[in-house]
Structure 1
């Protein structure tokens, strides 16, 4: 009888403890349905699209506990850091990501944005060049490369103006208008 109670008690603890994670991450349309780990990336993408980075972080951390080698969730975690304004963490995560998965273009683009915001235009250019060599049809990287060239053009025109080339003023104005769009 005592062994039966111990076994029953152990089984009850196991049953009660098992769904704790399931109560945490559920289908928003069906709150009684637990999400399987293969659905986490979609939930994370939705939270990111909704700019709910706190929720996205919670989901990605739970997902990575279950599947720590998920390439998609590792990338999403870096995007979440960026969205939360944790630039240093995002940069470190993207750098670790490209070291581990150098064949994926997207993190190079994200690093380029970070480097550009830090004034590291050469590093940004290198990252965009890598992204485009991996994926020549990567439209966002091409657009970011164009923006990078505009920033460089602005710097060049500002230098020309500073050293006496007044004729560059209309070009500098045009570049400034483009950068504001």
Structure 2
């Protein structure tokens, strides 16, 4: 589902989001260093190595929640969004009490420009963990994306409307790169 007109840039929060949520899941002490290794590999952009590390962990412990979650994170970073979505949906079906899974499912939906699905996933995460500031921020970003889509549709239908271009520009400015 993409908005009419120019496509909005992917916000910077999508790059950090999965790793932030990853840190919140409990670790099994027997392999506590391996998730850190996966995180480091992802930071270095070595997603193939990260996936190989996760797959080794899954081979040893196929039902381990942390490895299965990490697999979804790595698949997301590799832009294998259908596979990542399936991984997170399977986890949601088995463990609907984990807000981190919903957060990362929302990342997948956002990268697919499915902002309404992302909103629903984030709202579920907030029902499970209402005081998570990262989730609140991400939900605000998704609402801004939804607003941009609506403003663009309205402008397409009513090109002469005086206030719409300014509103659309303001929302798009939220996601434009800032000089450092």
Settle same-fold status: TM greater than 0.5: yes
Cα gap change, 1:154/1:38 in structure 2, threshold over 3 Å: closer, same or farther? closer
Q: Deviations over 1:66-112 (max 9, x none)?
A: 12222111100111111112111111111111111111111211211
| Structure 2 residues not aligned, in runs of 5+ | 1-29
CA–CA distance in 2 between the matches of 1:120 and 1:84?
18
Alpha carbons 2:116, 2:146 under 8 Å: kept: no
Choose the corresponding residue for 1:78, options 52, 59, 72. 72
Number of matched residues?
A: 146
Map 1:138-153; keep pairs closer than 5 Å.
138-153=132-147
In structure 2, the partner of 1:171 is 167
Q: Could you tell me how far 1:38 is from its partner in structure 2?
A: 4.3
Structure ranking higher in helix proportion:
1
Which consecutive unaligned segments of at least 5 residues does structure 1 have?
1-35
Distance 1:141 1:109 in 2: 7
Structural mapping, 1:2-17, within 5 Å: none
TM-score of the superposition, structure 2-length normalised?
0.73
Structure 1 runs (4+) deviating above 4 angstroms are none
| Residues 1-181 of structure 1 aligned to structure 2 (within 5 Å) | 37-162=31-156, 163=158, 164-181=160-177
Alignment root-mean-square deviation, CA: 1.8
Contact 1:150/1:179 (<8 A) preserved: no
Which protein has the larger Cα radius of gyration, Structure 1 or Structure 2?
A: 1
Do the aligned partners of 1:94 and 1:111 also contact (CA within 8 Å) in 2? yes
Post-superposition CA distance 1:98-151 (Å, at most 9, x none): 111111111211211222332322211110100111112323322221111111
Q: Which has the higher contact order (CA 8 A, sep 6+)?
A: 2
> Residues 161 and 169 of structure 1 are in contact (CA less than 8 Å); yes or no, is this contact kept in structure 2?
yes
